Amino acid sequence: MSRGVGLDIGTNMLVAATMDEEGHPVYKKQRDAFFRITPKSEVNRKSIKMSLESRKTNFIIEGGDFIVVGEDALRMANERNLEARRPMKRGVLSPKEKTSLPMIKLIIKSLIGKGNNDKLIFSIPAEPTDGEFDIFYHSEMMKTYLKEMGFIAESLNEGFAIAFSELLDDNLTGMCISFGAGMVNSVVCYEGDPIVQFSITKGGDWIDTSVGKALDLNASLVQIEKEESELDLLDPKDKIQEALVVYYNVLINYALDNIIYELDKSKMPSFRDPIPIVLSGGLTLARNFEKKFKAESNLKKFPFEVKEVRRAADPITCVAHGCLMAAIL
């Protein structure tokens, strides 16, 4: 029997979703970051390998080099005050990151295993409104690699995948906004149809870089501070958190202004009832993100009445979950 697989290919995180025999979702995650370590000698090589294995670090050996993968890549880069390598930028793979592609393939393989003509749905971002990048290249490359791994792969808009996961009790009608590392993806659904979908090419990475520039810090360090310091958007504790809150505000406002601009431009159906806004993505994990978003959105005028602003059940896995639903359907 063929199984369905959902795969969220995010700028910061790869998440795979499958369904177990009892009908519960099962997720596997890996951060898509790399860090290369070149040993100085054979003895050094052996000790590095032992150290990596004892720490249960995920790594790839390429020639004589060790390429640390995922969360550990970010930590090791920080320990050395260096930047970890990020093969994806603004939600898509770049042909310029050719050397990272084999590693991406290995990580995906470790997440989804080998397929047997199984249906796999992977997420892609919507066309950006404030920049240009090649979604076609990204989508085709992923299809090719996933086919090599034994899957029949199709792409699905990230925002629409969130709708499949989070708007089942709302008649598939509402707005889904994903605040990811590479970009902000938005979709408005009306009774199961994605009416308007677009993306904005700013996200968590932009916040990390901007705070890093402002405080003369490494962007990787800012990223770890952002994710692990229990950042509260209404109560920053130190200088880095204060700077993070400032750039969170700027990003939320920029996203809202662009969303309203695009919605005003689009031909929107007249909604009979107020519709919900669902927030997802890694940035929404910050404490009081919803409150901040709600407060800012109250100052803007949406072309529809907002029923509520709520966070997805799990902002990190909801895209993969939606893709899985689409794959099994």
Binding site for other proteins (CB under 8 A): 19-20, 23-30, 52-53, 56, 58-63, 69, 95, 98, 101-103, 105-107, 109-111, 136-137, 140-141, 144, 164, 168-169, 171-172, 191-193, 195, 267, 269, 313-314, 317, 321, 324-325, 328-329
| CA dist 187 → 123, 262, 277 (Å) | 13, 11, 10
Written as one letter, the residue type at 271 is F
Nearer CB in complex with other proteins: 147/294: 147
- DSSP result, 126-166: PPBSSS---HHHHHHHHHHHHHHTTEEEEEEEHHHHHHHHH
| CA dist 90 → 119, 222, 255, 281 (Å) | 26, 18, 15, 14
Nearer CB in complex with other proteins: 52/283: 52
DSSP state of 84: P
Nearer CB in complex with other proteins: 59/122: 59
Nearer CB in complex with other proteins: 193/308: 193
Take residue 263 and report the two structure tokens written for it.
């919605």
Q: Which residues does residue 5 pair with via DSSP β-bridges, in sequence order?
A: 120
Q: How far is the CB of 46 from other proteins (least distance, A)?
A: 14
Q: Which residues does residue 147 pair with via DSSP β-bridges, in sequence order?
A: none
| CA dist 194 → 37, 125, 163, 257 (Å) | 45, 13, 9, 20
Q: How far is the CB of 61 from other proteins (least distance, A)?
A: 4
Q: What share of the chain is helix, strand, coil (3-state, %, to 5)?
A: 45, 25, 30
List helix spans (H) across 216-288.
219-228, 239-265
Nearer CB in complex with other proteins: 104/279: 104
Nearer CB in complex with other proteins: 101/152: 101
Nearer CB in complex with other proteins: 172/295: 172
Q: How far is the CB of 19 from other proteins (least distance, A)?
A: 5
Q: How far is the CB of 98 from other proteins (least distance, A)?
A: 5
Take residue 128 and report the two structure tokens written for it.
């950006």
| CA dist 85 → 52, 55, 164, 175, 291 (Å) | 18, 20, 32, 33, 33
Q: How far is the CB of 42 from other proteins (least distance, A)?
A: 16
Nearer CB in complex with other proteins: 73/279: 73
Tally: H helices and E strands in the chain? 10, 15
